[in-house]
Each structure stands twice: as structure tokens, then as C-alpha cells.
Amino acid sequence: GALSAISKDPLTGYGPQNRMTSVLAELPDNIRPQLSFTHVHNGFLTAGIDAGVFGIAALSLMLLTPVIGAWRKEPGPGRDLAIALALLLFS
């Protein structure tokens, strides 16, 4: 349902206030009453529904910031540890 909703409004999304309304509209009628979630349990899909591809890009950049910072660190004894910790944070 989330992927279908994102494909219908990929640029701007629906906003957090309309998150599950847009997802539930894409699901079969017999499943809707059983789902009482407030988000789709995936950060990237939730960002895509809330803010479209701009939200996915912002989330990706936010998660990549520690990796970029560690990568740009001056080569030395702590760089490998910094990259490992940044990748752990990212994943």
C-alpha cells in the first residue's frame, strides 16, 4: 500500500497527517479494519509518504552524514574506527 501511495504522489507526498489514510486507501477493503498503525514500519517508506522523494533524499542525507564525516577524516589511527562506527550508525 505504501509503494502504491508513493507512486501516486512521488514529489510532495501526503504529509504526516494523511500518512495512513493514503496507505489504507490502497489496500483491499477487508484488510483496512485490522490495521491500526500510525506509520508503515519502514523509515524510508514513511518519509516517502510524508514528503515524497524530497523526504527520502533528506532522510538518506541525514543518515549518510556520519559516513561522509568519517570518510573525510584525516588518515590516521582513528579513521578506520570512525568509519566502522559511522557505518554501524547508518545501518
17-36: pLDDT as tens digits: 988 888 888 888 888 777 77
What is the Cα–Cα distance from 60 to 63, expressed in whole angstroms?
5
For the entire predicted model, the pTM comes to 0.74
Question: Which residues in the chain land under pLDDT 50?
Answer: none
Distances, alpha carbon 86 to alpha carbons 42, 62, 67, 75, in Å: 21, 12, 5, 15
User: Looking at this protein, which amino acid is placed at residue 47?
Assistant: A
Position 52 scores a pLDDT of 93
